[in-house]
Amino acid sequence: MEKVLILTGSDSDIHVMEKAAEVLDEFGVAYRLTIASAHRTPDYVKRLVSGAEKKGAEVIIAGAGMAAHLAGVIASHTTLPVIGVPIEASGLGGLDALLSTVQMPGGVPVAAMAIGKAGAKNAGLFAVQILAIKDAGLRKKLQAYKARMAASVRKKAAKFEAERKKGKK
């Protein structure tokens, strides 16, 4: 059963939204990733959202660029938590999509992530965190993920300091 639906506004966004999918793969969370546009295929977006909800999806991730209305439109159709990823797709560096995603009117929340690949990665992690509220196995995996991340930074720091010391000799 797909726990997460990932929608993205265009095939030109896929390379960014794959980062969310990679996280869900890593945590063993079932998902569907597909393309649907708030502006170009509004009815299809609505059908996908209600279909996913009926099939038991618990979180929706939406990535879009430019006047990024996808996450907000999805949030208008569902009570599931919606995570929005602003994508850089114009000369404005993604600021257009960030503001469109984050500035939701009161009553219709969207959890807005950072612009681009870091935001997509965090959307995947945030979805896992939501699912982990009632899944102890996922919680353990998240703890292990954080421990690995901390260990990797410590390793880099030790290497950096050792190399710097060597250079000063």
Q: Does 116 bind ligand RP5 (CB under 6 A)?
A: no
What distance in Å separates the CA atoms of residue 52 and residue 90, rounded to the nearest whole number? 30
Distances (CA, A) of 153 to 46, 60, 63, 158: 42, 31, 29, 9
Single out the segment in contact with ligand RP5 by CB under 6 A; choices: 6-14, 99-107, 128-136, 144-152.
6-14
Closest alpha carbon to 130 in 62, 85, 84, 81: 81
Q: Does 101 bind ligand RP5 (CB under 6 A)?
A: no
Quick one: which of 82, 87, 113, 132 contacts ligand RP5 (CB under 6 A)? 87
How many helical (H) and strand (E) elements, i.e. helices and strands, does the chain have?
6, 5
Identify residues 52-81 at the interface with ligand RP5 (CB under 6 A): 64-66
Provide the strand spans (E) within 46-108: 59-65, 82-87
Q: Does 13 bind ligand RP5 (CB under 6 A)?
A: yes
The nearest distance, CB 33 to ligand RP5, in angstroms, is: 14
Backbone angles phi, psi at 64, to 5 degrees: -160, 155
Binding residues with ligand RP5: total (CB under 6 A): 10
Q: Does 86 bind ligand RP5 (CB under 6 A)?
A: no
Footprint of ligand RP5 (CB under 6 A): 9-10, 12-13, 37, 64-66, 87, 89
